[in-house]
Amino acid sequence: MTEKQRFRWTLLTAVFLVNAIVIGFSWMATSPLVSHIVADFALAKGAGEYIFASYAAAIAIFAVPAGMLGDRFGVRISVAIGVVITGVFGILRGTASDFSVLLVYGFLTGTGMAFVVPNLPKAVGVWFPKEEFGIANGLVVAGVNIGNALSVSLVGVMFLPAFGTWRACFYLVGLLALITTIMWWVVARDTPAPPSGSGSGEKLHVHSHKIDKNAVGRILHIRDMWPLLGMQFCILGFFIGFTGALHHFLEVKGMGGMASFATSLALITPVIGNLLFPAMSDRTGRRKPFIIPFALITGLCIYAVSILNGVPLWIALVGVGISEGAYMPLVYAIPLEMKGVGIENAATATGLIYCFGNIGGILIPIIAGHLITAYSFETAFMFLALVAACVAVLNALMKEIK
């Protein structure tokens, strides 16, 4: 392995771990704790969706300025700030005296995440060549999915029974995020891979000397950016709504202790899609064939989860995971390839994508929560299936980037 390859994969490993622990663990540790939080605070059964909405609200508000700061100061310091904030307020979630306080700490935890998520795809653009954007972002997203799955399994099956309270689980997860700060600061760099072999050795301009106040306006004038923003609105909306409600839904179905394992399965199987299909997309140079059909499959499988039992239910859960994993990394690769965005403004563009995505992550789970309370889980899952299908419609409106 060359020096350049070692550099890239060492840094990508750091990004993978940050996503797994700081985003995956901090976010999805909540899922197996929802029913206990709802019982402790005597809430309606759909109220748990508001916790996930608190994370999403913070990211929606702060992702764009955090991305602009990343473009100005580099990803190393921006991500480090986010990891520390996530860890500190992630711990404080366990001290909440009532549900409103928990939502405030959840919002502040999400504020830290907002500094992390828009800057990691920029790092990929800095460290990897264009022909590897898909697979590299696939590995980045795989970190979140592996963190999601491990979090649900460890918290639901091991930590909660061992500690006996949801509060202690939040303490541990927040502490893990703080420990990750050290690893990130030691390993991360704001420079591209060193030249080797046939490399030109040209130094890449990775961040500007001042905040570009006009970057947001220029990016929003790109025609295909709007369908992409709509796609992320739907993707994070159905993902947060579905994964946030799934554990509770499976408990209501009578799965008991298997609910944690089944939820973990739906969260770990996207890794298959993350690693397989973005790499195929890179080789073919096309994105739409790997987004449109898989988005439709996601919607079909979400609906199937709501009506099936036994082995067919497990198959549908796997189908949701693999299909959504196929196209989620491509949403972050596309801006790197867009004329008018590129690497220099990548964090700002990704901040916009996360802003719109997390607006969906607020509104869609809240709508799903109301549907659960007023009607049933099945009605809510049907709504989420339609939202997933909208991803395919919106991508069909975009031009294929050559």
Residue 203 DSSP class: P
CB 219 within 8 A of CB 110: no
| Stated pTM of the model | 0.76
pLDDT of residue 71: 81
Burial of 1 per CB tally in 10 Å (0-12, 13-18, 19+): exposed
Instruction: Report pLDDT digits (tens) over 308-353.
Output: 999 999 999 999 999 999 999 999 888 888 887 867 777 888 889 9
Structure tokens at 342: 């590129």
Q: How far apart are CA 384 and CA 192, in angstroms?
A: 40
The full set of domains in the chain, from first to last, is 3-190+215-396 (1.20.1250.20)
pLDDT of residue 213: 64
Instruction: Report pLDDT digits (tens) over 390-400.
Output: 999 999 999 88
Q: How far apart are CA 395 and CA 229, in angstroms?
A: 10
Residue 288 DSSP class: G
pLDDT of residue 381: 97
Q: How far apart are CA 64 and CA 208, in angstroms?
A: 16
Q: How far apart are CA 32 and CA 44, in angstroms?
A: 16
How many CA atoms, within 13 angstroms, populate the side-chain half-sphere of residue 158?
Answer: 6
Q: Which ranges of the chain have pLDDT less than 70?
A: 1, 192-213, 342, 402
83-86 — which CB contacts under 8 Å span 24+ positions? 83/18, 83/22, 83/112, 83/115, 83/116, 83/177, 83/178, 83/180, 83/181, 83/184, 84/112, 84/178, 84/181, 85/109, 85/111, 85/112, 85/115, 86/22, 86/26, 86/112, 86/113, 86/116, 86/174, 86/177
pLDDT of residue 105: 97
pLDDT of residue 206: 47
Burial 10-44 (b: 16+ CB within 10 A, else e): ebbebbbbbbbbbbbbbbbbbbbbbbbbbebeeee
